A and B are shown apart, each in its own frame.
Chain A
Amino acid sequence: MRRTPVVLALIIAAASPRAADSQQTGATASPRRTAAAPAGDAAAGRQIFDAQCAWCHGNEGDGGMGPNLHGRLRHATTLASIVDVITSGIPGTDMPSFRSPLTERSIRQAAAYVQSLSRMPARSARGNAEHGMAIYERNGCASCHTIAGRGGTLGPELTSIGSRRGAAHLREAVVKPEATHSPGYLVVRAARTSGPEIRGIRLNEDVFWIHIRDASGAVHALQKSELSSLDRELDASLMPSYASRVSGSDLEDLVAYLTTLRGDK
């Protein structure tokens, strides 16, 4: 059997803040400066933000894999509550606890910087959200995605996607979905020694087992010892690119609509 190593990378990354194994590891993410020029605790916090937070929340805190932090924050409104979020994470989301990698003082400083970001005006998406909703419906997005309880289940639920992802990330997810690597949606291809090949989303994997959901929604529990090959397709997504079908102002309108999806999640 050709053994192709596959990683629960995003799941692991979300569950264990990177600096948590830095004696061992260290800090992470881009060091580029932000537009803000904070002072005191917030100035020290900016360094921590660059190292620990920017790879999700964007170099200027304006969103990416994680939400835009400009404007009113969804889960915290006071300095104390921001400290709580950084310390404990947000259950049910990708926001992990930083209790382990950061000290109380560092968390306080990072929180002060995040609070300074939240006082900056939120940039609204450029497009027309109402028209974006029509684009969403016209293109059949609901066949795979659920919003507020309605839609398909093959792709990620979008009920609160606007509160969890920045606009640039959402735009890329539409035109180049394979580049955005939605957590938990890695495409794998398994060839069995007998029976047809299985291609789909990797639900789980350990050293000896892999669970795959195929495009029909069927779940396959496979023992690796019974596979002749197992390949992960890092550059693939079960979602097709919509670049040729949704572009220009339609794309901006769709992104604007997605950013308005901030339902409880």
Chain B
Amino acid sequence: MRNGERKAGMGAALLALVVVLGAASLRAQDGQWLMYSGSYDSHRFSPLKQIATDNVAKLRPVWVYQPPGTGSIESTPIVADGVMYVTSGPTMVAALDLQSGKALWEWTRPIAASVLNLGFPRVNRGVAIKDGIVYVGTLDGYLVALDAKAGIERWTTHVGENPTGHAITAAPLVVDDKVIVGISGGEAGIRGFLDAYDAKSGKQLWRFWTVPSPGEPGSESWPGDSWVHGGGATWLTGSYDPALRLLFWGTGNPGPDWNGDSRKGDNLYTSSLVAIDVDSGKARWHFQFTPHDVHDWDANQIPLLVDAEVGGRRRSLVVTANRNGFFYALDRRTGEFVYGAPYAKQTWAKGLDDKGRPIEIPGMEPSAKGTLVYPSLQGATNWASPSFSPATAMVYVPVREMGSVYYKTPTEYRPGTYYTGGSEKRLDEESWGAVRALDVKTGRKVWDFALPSPPWAGVMSTAGGLVFSGSNEGNFYALDAASGKPLWQFQTGGAIRSGPMSFLAGGRQHVAVAGGHALFVFALPE
């Protein structure tokens, strides 16, 4: 975990890092990228600064890797011990030489056409690594440990039943000797959970159910047996605070998505952020952004762990731009609401009350005739990663400005089929997108970089004063982190639906991003 945001300077941060976090995190400062979001705080911030505002215009592609198969690559590569590990759909991992881009090994799990992916593409978003083992979730619901040098399976553990819609697309997160992995299936009526497995054996250590069973705290928010198919998937990688030993994990929509008649109540802990003790698997606190969600506004967006002065007081925060159109800052020790404000067009709430609960506008629910609401069901942002730069104290959010007409239909649960209770018609032509810089102290917009369409690309900021991101139209670009001014771009020829990352190879800083079905790696001329 990087420490720049916690201390006045990077030097002090590095010193604290040695004491608190140990050697594994130190390597990240040496030009590696050891986990999906780059660090436990999920800042997706690279401390590398060879590529900077004054030379980024010279950035050039140095190699391109095209994995077997087809489809968009939605993976963020990781780099550890001089090797890059990148994934492709449905479930494929490649280990690449950093200098040449050539594969050292490729591992593919056979995924039959009958394997279910209800509500999401047949993709994989990345791996985790620890002590020479690479961990990957599979579309058919397993967690697999691979030897990092050879790509040979060490163990395989069953996580969720695919015939009922369980699948894994998210990158796992390794904490100490535990592999934490989330589950997809929120459109299939699964009951969501977050699991921890022993990194050496694959044995399950704990399971946290995101929907409580009768008698447990929160169960009063589910009438009858509606909790059984209550949703709350955990389909994106969360964050971790080593000092608090807390995981921060977003949860998805309740089921059925757009018809809430059978589940009147708040439907805890769906569309929420949950702080989970990494040792016990028990929730310490939760914060629900959208009580009784009927717009499919998953709260799986990656939470950023940030220390900042708010209202004259130094706060340990977790901040997140939610799919519902509001940006939130919470106290990450207690879950207390610190502030919240809209960061994109939204038409469903007058605002937030002093506890952060939305003050809803009546009549915004999906209906048989259709109800126009902003944001669309893809949300004002989605799984594409945000970034936080300790250098600018800004949060950079990939923003989707789009509305939808939401429809509500009758539904009943049938295993292995959609359990959604409605649909949407998006206002595509009126939609647009942006990379939006927000002041972390207030959530207010500092600058906007407009895009022709709502993006699916993640954002990375760097110590070189840059923000990297991509567009559906294939542009990979660098902005001035302070002003949002574009400084460089490269047309990859395919939609960018992945998160950028940065690493050192041969002493030179490189930047990588997937566009279409290819991974592009860039560096300055030697």
Contacts and interface: CB of A to CB of B under 8 A. Distances in A.
Interface of A: 3, 5-10, 12-13, 18-32, 44, 47-48, 50-51, 55, 99-101, 103-106, 181, 186, 205-208, 234
B407 A7 contact: no
Contact of A30 (B116, B370, B451): B370
B423 A7 contact: no
Contacts of A6: 432, 452
A28 B119 CA distance: 11
Given A23-B121, A28-B425, A100-B117, 18 more contacts: A5-B451, A18-B426, A24-B120, A24-B121, A25-B296, A27-B422, A28-B424, A29-B423, A31-B368, A31-B423, A51-B420, A51-B423, A101-B121, A103-B417, A106-B418, A205-B452, A206-B471, A207-B489
Contacts of B122: 100
B416 interface: yes
The 9 closest A-B pairs by CB, nearest first: A5-B432, A23-B120, A9-B428, A206-B473, A31-B409, A22-B119, A207-B475, A27-B423, A7-B453
Interface string B182-208: 001011000000000000000000000
Interface string B495-513: 0000000000000000000
Nearest to B428: A9
B377 interface: yes
B431 interface: yes
A47 B410 CA distance: 10
B386 interface: no
**Interface SS of B by simple majority:** loop
Give the most central of A22, A181, A207: most B CB within 10 Å: A207
Contacts of A106: 417-418
Contact of A12 (B420, B423, B472): B472
A205 B474 CA distance: 10
Contacts of B378: 21, 24-25
A6 B113 CA distance: 36
Nearest to B118: A103
27 contacts: A3-B450, A5-B401, A5-B432, A6-B452, A8-B473, A9-B431, A9-B453, A10-B428, A10-B429, A12-B428, A19-B119, A23-B169, A23-B184, A23-B186, A24-B378, A24-B382, A25-B378, A26-B257, A29-B423, A47-B409, A50-B409, A104-B113, A207-B451, A207-B475, A207-B486, A208-B486, A234-B429
Contacts of B121: 20-21, 23-24, 100-101
Contacts of B382: 21, 24
Nearest to B448: A3
A26 B486 contact: no
Given A21-B120, A206-B471, A7 B452 contact: yes
A30 B425 contact: yes
Nearest to A27: B423
B477 interface: yes
A207 B423 contact: no
A8 B453 contact: yes
Given A21-B120, A26-B377, A55 B425 contact: yes
Contacts of A24: 119-121, 378, 382-383
Given A21-B378, A30-B425, A100-B121, A207 B113 contact: no
A18 B383 CA distance: 16
Contacts of A181: 429
Given A205-B473, A206-B491, A9 B429 contact: yes
Contacts of A44: 417
Contacts of A206: 452, 471, 473-475, 491
B40 interface: no
B114 interface: yes
A208 B471 CA distance: 11
B354 to A, nearest CB: 32
A185 to B, nearest CB: 12
B475 A208 contact: yes
Interface string B392-421: 000000000100000111000000111010
B36 interface: no
Interface in B277-294: none
